[in-house]
Structure 1
Amino acid sequence: MVRVAIIGGTGYTALEVMRLLHRHPQAEVKVVSSRSESGPVSSVHTSLSGMFDFNMTNPSVTEIAELADVVFCCLPHKASMDAIPSLLSAGLKVVDLSADYRLSDPSVYEKWYGHVHTDPTRLGNTVYGLPELYRDRIKGQDLIANPGCYTSTSILALAPFVSGGLIEPSSIIIDAKSGVSGAGRAPKLGTLYAECNESFSAYGVGTHRHMPEIEQILSDVSSENVEVLFTPHLVPMDRGIFATIYATPKAELTEKQAIESLREFYSGNPFVRVVSHLPKTKDVAYTNYCDITARVVKGRLMILAVLDNMIKGAAGVAVQNFNLMCDFDETTALL
């Protein structure tokens, strides 16, 4: 039995991690930390009543190390890099759900996040936690950088085509939509009900922080430098990501060949479903699946991909990484 601590326990991702780990036969949540809450976990996340009724605390690193073996760090960026070096020094394994360790270059991190990275030597040395691409590297690691939801959708959709050299690497346009939970639980003007209900809007045009992350990983799996135009949109639904992606094939490509490329690339990967129909966000809601299909229209490749931003886009892939780190079956608690 692996003892688990969850740091930053009041948010949506922490809720979903707890929900998944509650049914994990080889994990036991021993600590849920918060600086702002001190009552029972189930008083903050009422859906966990009868499951997690012990109190949230604000323990020291030493206290966490006495009670846990693995930490799910659900803190926001900047706060994670402040906490993680001490957690690792105490001998804990960490799955970090923030963006603090995803990028390889400290100067790129500073440009897109507006902060100097205080633990720069780990950038470029921390394994990116997308099992479909880095499964063998994740196993046995002490720190995993959990990917973002937009990034997971986009990278999973494009990886077979950039790794196979099938598309022009600078022709990629990603048109992506997210449910409101992707903005987190803290109240913000743009995600208030009266602001986003019955509305549909773009945001972060040309400035969204997931763009360099997408480019970095796709360039890593390709033999070429990949550039993308990425535009996120807010949809008035609770959860889900839908990405419609456009790219120019290097040579004539049929729809059958495109779908076969996806099937071949993801053969043996339990959580990527290559489908022939047009996927919907409801198809993957509350699951760890990413559904992908492809079309060829007027000589252009279109890739359509969906996943649940809170599960495969956050907590589910975090548990998938936890399973690989601890040498458990990758699908434990996720099917």
Structure 2
Amino acid sequence: MSVEQQNIKIRSAVLGAAGYSGAELCALLCANPYFELSYAFASAGRSSEPFAQLYPRFQQQVDILVEPWTDERVETLDVQVAFLALPHEASEAIAPLLLAKGIAVVDLSGAFRLKQADLYPKYYGYAHQHPELLAQAVYSLMEWQTTPLGDLVSVPGCYPTACTLALLPLLKADLVTKDCIPVISATSGVSGAGRKASLSTSFCEVGLNAYGFFKHRHRPEIEQNLGRKVVFTPHLGNFKRGILATCVVTLKAGVSAEQVAAAFQHAYASKPLIRFTKNSPNVADVAGTPFCDLYWQQDGEQLVIMSAIDNLLKGAAAQAMQAANVRFGKPETAGLLAGANL
């Protein structure tokens, strides 16, 4: 490959650029030396407007016009990859159009996360129209990624990212009793509900409350990742961004603190976006970063693992950027460690 070819940036589009995760992704792409943000789109009903008008804090970093999307734009879209920060059903409808034009898709919605199409009516409220794509989509929990990333990449949800990163090292090391059902209590900031105004997510209304008992759409995704049932209770907290997940498991008899530490070290010693903390992590310390902070405490056979991430970055845009970097053969953390909010 010539020097000129090596220096050619990967042309990209973000659909859903007016939303929180889409905006973060636009900023990450502009900070990534290997990618070019060529297009930014919002919903069809909007008027074109400068990105900096939507998000003034990015005015020195992102200079692009956010245009209304219509499916006809697929015919003239000159990009190698499209990032979909859209509602689930919108992503499911648009992804096949892009794939048919040879454009790789990195989808941040839940449209392609679950491998069982029959779970979508129960947990997402609609019947999946393209079940054949569920087998094609590669789920990109990047610290555990072993399958080569193809043209349809499904980015994990924010809660599943935090919970799976906390629990999978223990399960892979076979330290947890076979009949243990992990109990997870996780709290997200209000940005997880999106930018659209809602009384239930207004700062003036939100205190701290649980919701989605036994039926939250991220529960089957977590169970799919872990290979076992969980009790998952999400909460909404009065802060902007971040997730703190508290995960409780029962260890096999005789499992030592050294074995637990070794399991986490084996899983993540070479993973640049995982940090082990000396105290219980704080969402304030991960907000605006692509990191996952982990901490655990053991009392005999009981183990509590704390996991903290930024729901908009490690739980969405930063993990999408990680996946795209790997998909196109670039350094995994390109555009992340010097990201827009660091």
Q: TM-score, normalised by structure 2?
A: 0.91
1:222 aligns with none
Q: Distance in 2 between matches of 1:123 and 1:307?
A: 27
Contact 1:42–1:49 (8 Å) recurs in 2: yes
Counterpart-to-counterpart distance in 2, 1:157 and 1:322? 23
CA distance in 1, matches of 2:33, 2:214: 44
Q: What residue in structure 1 maps to residue 114 of structure 2? A: 103
Residue 39 of structure 1 and its aligned partner are, at CA, apart by: 1.5
**Aligned ranges 1:144-223 → 2 under 5 Å:** 144-169=153-178, 170-196=180-206, 199-219=207-227
Task: Report what 1:308 is aligned to.
Answer: 310
Q: 1:31-50 to 2 correspondence within 5 Å?
A: 31-34=39-42, 35=44, 36-50=46-60
SS in 1 for 2:294: strand
- Distance in 2 (CA, whole Å) between partners of 1:127 and 1:317 is 13
Q: CA deviation at 1:268?
A: 1.0
In structure 2, what is the equivalent of residue 118 of structure 1?
A: 129
Structure 2: give runs of 5+ residues left out of the alignment: 1-8, 338-342
Aligned to 2:81: 70
Q: Is the contact between residue 178 and residue 241 of structure 1 (CA under 8 Å) also seen in structure 2?
A: yes
CA distance in 1 between counterparts of 2:225 and 2:336 reads 25
CA shift in 2, pair 1:285/1:50, >3 Å:
closer
Question: 1:49, CA displacement in angstroms?
Answer: 1.9
Q: Deviations over 1:259-281 (max 9, x none)?
A: 22111111211111233432211
Which residue of 135, 139, 152 corresponds with 1:128? 139
* Rounded Cα–Cα distance in structure 2 between residues aligned with 1:327 and 1:112: 34
Measure, in 2, the Cα distance between the counterparts of 1:108 and 1:167: 27
Paired with 1:80 and 1:27, the residues of 2 have a C-alpha distance of 22
State the secondary structure of the residue aligned to 2:333: coil
Distance (whole Å) between structure 1 residues aligned to residue 86 and residue 334 of structure 2: 24
Report the CA distance between 1:285 and its aligned residue: 1.8
Instruction: Give the Cα separation in 1 of the matches to 2:47 and 2:59.
Output: 16
Number of matched residues? 325
Does the Cα contact within 8 Å between 2:18 and 2:66 map onto a contact in 1? no
Kept in 2, the 8 Å contact 1:259–1:293? The answer is no
The one-letter amino acid paired with 2:208 is F
Residues 228-282 of structure 1, C-alpha deviations (whole Å, 9 max, x = no match): 0000111111111111111111222233321221111112111112334322112
Give the stretch that moved more between structures: 5-14 or 278-287: 278-287
2:262 paired residue number: 260
Q: Secondary structure at the match of 1:110?
A: helix
Matched AA of 1:118? Q
Partner residue, 1:239: 241
**Separation in structure 1 between the aligned mates of residue 152 and residue 135 of structure 2, nearest angstrom:** 12
Cα distance, 1:315 vs. partner?
Answer: 0.5
Amino acid at match of 1:161: L
1:281 is aligned to 2:279: no
Give the superposition deviation at 1:52: 3.4
The 2-side partners of 1:277 and 1:257 are apart by 19
- Assess if the C-alpha contact under 8 Å between 1:24 and 1:333 holds in 2: yes
- Structure 2 distance, partners of 1:71, 1:177, is 30
Aligned partner of residue 321 in structure 2, secondary structure:
helix
Query: What is the rounded CA distance, in whole Å, between the counterparts of 1:266 and 1:51 in structure 2?
Result: 32
How far apart are the structure 1 equivalents of 2:148 and 2:188? Answer: 27
Shift of 1:50: 4.2
Greater displacement, 170-179 / 312-321: 170-179
In structure 1, stretches of 5+ residues that fail to align are 220-225
